[in-house]
């Protein structure tokens, strides 16, 4: 992974493969962002004019490379677009810096060292740039010959020096350490999501959680088929019944001796979703290895909380199963008795995520946490509603839903609050069981949220994040987001844990 360092050195004097500067879109052409002054001076104050001649406008995500001037110890200057120039007196927001750093890091694939002379007016800016670099430099090449990736076999940027950062300042050191911990765990989630399902079944996923728990001092409990059967986890067992790879429920616990509050994170972990007997058609199942993105996010967030030493207790529940058709698979019309004791009539086996989550949510509720947040690639309906880059937030408490939304926006994860309309609950009434796993087709994402609410313990604050849209990027990379698994929701969960530790949530 890319190494981050801080330096007060002047950009032209840094020995590196490239120097990165920011350029904004001004009213009369490109405008150099703060941090580029020394580089501009080396160009005799004409760098903005040179960039304009080369066609640069400062648009967000734009990359322009040009030879460094005589005397510079780096051979290349890379100008990355920051978008519209901020109003006078205002700086660039964290997400703008994060995205620009990600674009630059990806453009520097194959480089050993680069200096980032982007605007750093305070320590938080360094954290944003650092995070953008580490997330933007990500690549998944475990299955490429000799580790070669799609970029011609070039390795990710090896070292990023944040120029203008203060290496001896505690605040700067802290934000870089945080950026490294969160980004490394988010990239762990990306690796899990990108791993093909023949190498990541529920048992293999659980084994990785056990290994990480030992490394980071977490408590871990894994329930296999025998334990799930004994415990009465009918939802998880029902979904996994058709697969040769048995289901698992993993509980990861991080505890702090100074904690005053506790959080439970619950993740949907369908390691491959064929739809089961309600089989998905061709064109809808090729990327279904990503249906465990919620569990990957929860896993990563719990480990990140431990690495950051947050003063809050965090428990992660990974509801793992493979949804396959076979003679032993759950059929439409079957009734499952859930861990809560409720019975569910299964009308569609491709609405399986809510079944495994229901058992895990009830298990999490039994421990009486201060709040539960579940994360799941749950419904196509949410993608239709919000698109491929925004996830939906539902909750049983409006204030908590707003707090989750604010946390998501703060860390740069686009999200939108969604309602839980009571009239949609009736559509899940079943003549045979306590509830059906399907309801009205219109508003399907909201129906799924209402189903999950049935399995939250009384008096417990809960939020549901439907990340079906942004969890897996099927298009080209953008900002610090790669093609493939994105690690969506990891940063939101970590931020919620931080806010809870600080007493600023709930």
Catalogue the active-site residues: 280, 354
At 221 the three-state DSSP class reads strand
Residue by residue, DSSP assigns 12-56 as: GG--SSEEEEEEEEETTEEEEPTT-HHHHHHTTT-HHHHHHHTT-
Say which residues have a Cβ less than 8 Å from residue 403's Cβ, sequence separation at least 6: 496, 499, 505, 506
Phi then psi for residue 177, to 5 deg, are -65, -40
Reported as half-sphere exposure (CB side, CA atoms, 13 A), residue 383 has a value of: 12
Considering Cα of 69, then 73, then 78, then 79, what sign does the dihedral take? negative
What CA–CA distance (Å, rounded) separates 437 from 179? 40
Q: From residue 375, how far is each of 92, 210, 267, 299, 379 by CA, in Å?
A: 30, 21, 5, 11, 12
Q: Are residues 200 and 289 in contact, defined by beta-carbon separation less than 8 angstroms?
A: yes
What are the structure tokens assigned to 275, written together? Answer: 């739809």
At 190 the three-state DSSP class reads helix
What CA–CA distance (Å, rounded) separates 81 from 56? 8
Q: Round to the nearest angstrom and report the end-to-end CA distance of the chain.
A: 36
What CA–CA distance (Å, rounded) separates 351 from 354? 7
Q: What is the DSSP letter of 179?
A: H
Phi then psi for residue 128, to 5 deg, are -65, -45
Query: Which residue in 77, 116, 71, 73 sits closest to 98, CA to CA?
Result: 116
Say which residues have a Cβ less than 8 Å from residue 205's Cβ, sequence separation at least 6: 192, 248, 250, 269, 271, 292, 295, 318, 320
What CA–CA distance (Å, rounded) separates 484 from 506? 34
What CA–CA distance (Å, rounded) separates 237 from 48? 62
């Amino acid at each position: 992974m890319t190494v981050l360092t801080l330096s007060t050195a002047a950009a032209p004097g840094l020995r590196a493969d490239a120097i990165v500067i920011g350029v904004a879109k001004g009213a009369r052409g490109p405008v150099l962002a703060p941090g580029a002054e020394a580089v501009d001076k080396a160009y005799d104050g004409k760098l903005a004019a040179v960039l304009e001649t080369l066609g640069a406008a400062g648009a967000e995500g734009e990359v322009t490379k040009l030879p460094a001037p005589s005397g510079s110890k780096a051979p290349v200057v890379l100008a990355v677009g920051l978008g519209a120039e901020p109003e006078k007196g205002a700086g660039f927001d964290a997400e703008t810096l994060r995205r620009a750093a990600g674009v630059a890091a990806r453009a520097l694939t194959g480089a050993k060292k680069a200096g980032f002379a982007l605007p750093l007016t305070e320590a938080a800016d360094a954290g944003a740039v650092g995070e953008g670099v580490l997330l933007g430099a990500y690549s998944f090449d475990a299955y490429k010959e000799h580790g070669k990736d799609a970029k011609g076999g070039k390795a990710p940027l090896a070292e990023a020096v944040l120029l203008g950062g203060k290496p001896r300042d505690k605040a700067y050191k802290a934000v870089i350490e945080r950026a490294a911990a969160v980004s490394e765990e988010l990239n762990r989630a990306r690796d899990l999501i990108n791993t093909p399902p023949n190498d990541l079944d529920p048992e293999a996923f659980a084994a990785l959680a056990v290994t990480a728990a030992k490394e980071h001092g977490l408590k871990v409990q894994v329930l296999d088929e025998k334990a799930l059967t004994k415990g009465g986890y009918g939802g998880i067992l029902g979904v996994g019944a058709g697969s040769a790879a048995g289901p698992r429920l993993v509980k990861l616990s991080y505890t702090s001796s100074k904690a005053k509050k506790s959080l439970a994170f619950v993740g949907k972990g369908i390691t491959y979703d064929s739809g089961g007997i309600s089989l998905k058609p061709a064109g809808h199942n090729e990327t279904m290895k990503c249906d465990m993105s919620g569990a990957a996010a929860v896993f990563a967030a719990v480990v990140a909380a431990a690495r950051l030493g947050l003063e809050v207790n965090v428990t992660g529940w990974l509801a793992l199963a493979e949804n396959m058709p076979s003679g032993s698979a759950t059929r439409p019309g079957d009734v499952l008795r859930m861990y809560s004791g409720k019975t569910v009539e299964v009308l569609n086996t491709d609405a399986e995520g809510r079944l495994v989550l229901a058992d895990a949510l009830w298990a999490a509720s039994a421990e009486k946490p201060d709040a539960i947040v579940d994360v799941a690639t749950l419904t196509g309906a949410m993608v239709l509603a919000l698109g491929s880059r925004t996830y939906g937030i539902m909750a049983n408490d409006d204030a908590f839903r707003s707090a989750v939304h604010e946390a998501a926006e703060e860390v740069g994860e686009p999200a939108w609050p969604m309602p839980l309309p009571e009239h949609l609950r009736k559509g899940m009434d079943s003549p045979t069981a306590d509830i059906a796993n399907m309801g009205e087709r219109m508003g399907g994402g909201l129906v799924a949220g209402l189903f999950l609410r049935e399995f939250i313990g009384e008096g417990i604050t809960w939020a549901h994040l439907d990340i079906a849209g942004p969890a897996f990027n099927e298009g080209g990379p953008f900002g610090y987001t790669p093609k493939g698994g994105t690690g969506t929701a990891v940063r939101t969960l970590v931020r919620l844990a931080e806010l809870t530790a600080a007493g600023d949530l709930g």
